[in-house]
Amino acid sequence: MTHPTRLAVLMGDYCDRQAGFVPLVHHTKRLAFDAGLRQCCTDIIRFSHGASSSRKVYRASFIPGLRDVCVVFEKPHPARR
């Protein structure tokens, strides 16, 4: 019995002035599905409790990204005959 090949990716979405909001989690999932991978469990959310940026000065109000997402993909077994 062989075990499936798995890939775990930890990431968060991104936002800046030039690009605006970039949904990295969405784009990564789409690329993985296009490559033939499938998601083998629900998203694993990591919240950034207690994170601070006291030295950073922001020019506009915003909602910072307070979470990262871990997505686990696997390569499905070929169909057996």
Q: Provide the pLDDT for residue 19.
A: 82
β-strand partners of 71: 9
Q: Provide the pLDDT for residue 13.
A: 84
Band (67; pLDDT cuts 50, 70, 90):
confident
Q: Give the separation between CA 79 and CA 77, rounded to whole angstroms.
A: 6
Say if CB 25 and CB 65 are below 8 A apart.
Answer: no
- Condensed to tens digits (0 to 9), the pLDDT of residues 52-63 reads 555 666 565 555
Q: Provide the pLDDT for residue 77.
A: 76
- Condensed to tens digits (0 to 9), the pLDDT of residues 2-19 reads 777 899 999 988 777 888
Which of 23, 2, 14 minimizes the C-alpha distance to 74? Answer: 2
- Condensed to tens digits (0 to 9), the pLDDT of residues 22-45 reads 889 999 999 999 999 999 999 998
Q: Where are the domains of the chain?
A: 6-49+62-74
Q: For the whole model, what pTM was predicted?
A: 0.69
**DSSP 3-state assignment of 8?**
strand
DSSP symbols for 12-77: --EEETTTEEE-HHHHHHHHHHHTT-EE-S--EEEE-TT---TT---SS------EEEEEEEEPPP
